[in-house]
A = this chain, B = another copy of it.
Amino acid sequence: MRADAQRNYARLLAVAEEEIALNGADASLEQIARLAGVGSGTVRRHFPNRHALLAAVFRDRVETLCAHARDRVGRPDTRAALLEWLGEVTTSAATIRGLAMALNRDRSADTEHEHCATTQLTEAGEPLVRQAAGVLAPGVTVADLLALITGIALATEDHPDPAGEAGRLFALTVAGLSPEPR
């Protein structure tokens, strides 16, 4: 990769991060190009489509989350290990503007992106779920948990305190809105 290409790539990534934090996942690519001081063609060369840009912007964050999942595998308190991780994912999804929408979109992407963020998170979280299977409602999968979290994050996106609200709602779903009285 040529030096100028590297520079532009880095600049674009930085600008895109700000712009997405400001305007969400639908931020204008044109505007990002303008702010980065490059032509719109350059954006498109580095990131063929919006999905690619989102993936690049959130890559580090997602990988950190995956790493934290792996760190927690093997802990004796399997339930706490899982719930702590899910809480972290919830906070990230609710706090980082655009992330929830990005996750939601690549869930429904037609082509199987082998390494899209959702897939990564699913694979990283799977062991945590498996080892906590005993304390989970029967039939619950990692995919379910991530779907619920992204849903909650989407629904709280414009709340004054997204992370707080999202955390509260997720806690409710963990405990049950109305557990079967018996």
Residues of A within 8 A of B (CB): 79, 82-83, 104, 107-108, 132, 135-137, 139-140, 144-145, 147-148, 150-159, 169, 172-181
The number of times this chain is found in the oligomer is 2
Nearest to A175 among chain B residues (CB) is B176
Q: A108-B157, A178-B83 are in contact. Are A172 and B173 (CB under 8 A)?
A: yes
List 13 other contacts, CB 8 Å, given A82-B178, A173-B173, A176-B177. A104-B154, A108-B157, A137-B178, A137-B179, A140-B177, A147-B156, A151-B151, A151-B153, A151-B155, A154-B154, A154-B155, A173-B177, A179-B179
- Secondary structure type dominating chain A contacts: helix
Cross-interface CB contact of A107 among B79, B136, B155, B181, cutoff 8 Å? B155
Report, nearest first, the 9 A-B pairs whose CB atoms are least far apart: A176-B176, A108-B158, A151-B151, A151-B155, A173-B173, A147-B155, A154-B154, A151-B152, A174-B177
Contacts of A155 on B, CB cut-off 8 Å?
104, 107, 147-148, 150-151, 154
Q: A154-B155, A175-B179 are in contact. Are A148 and B169 (CB under 8 A)?
A: yes
| Chain B CB within 10 A, most for which of A140, A144, A177 | A177
| Chain B CB within 10 A, most for which of A136, A144, A148, A158 | A148
Cross-interface CB contact of A177 among B137, B153, B156, B180, cutoff 8 Å? B137
Q: How far is the CB of A129 from chain B (nearest CB, A)?
A: 10
Contacts of A136 on B, CB cut-off 8 Å?
177-178
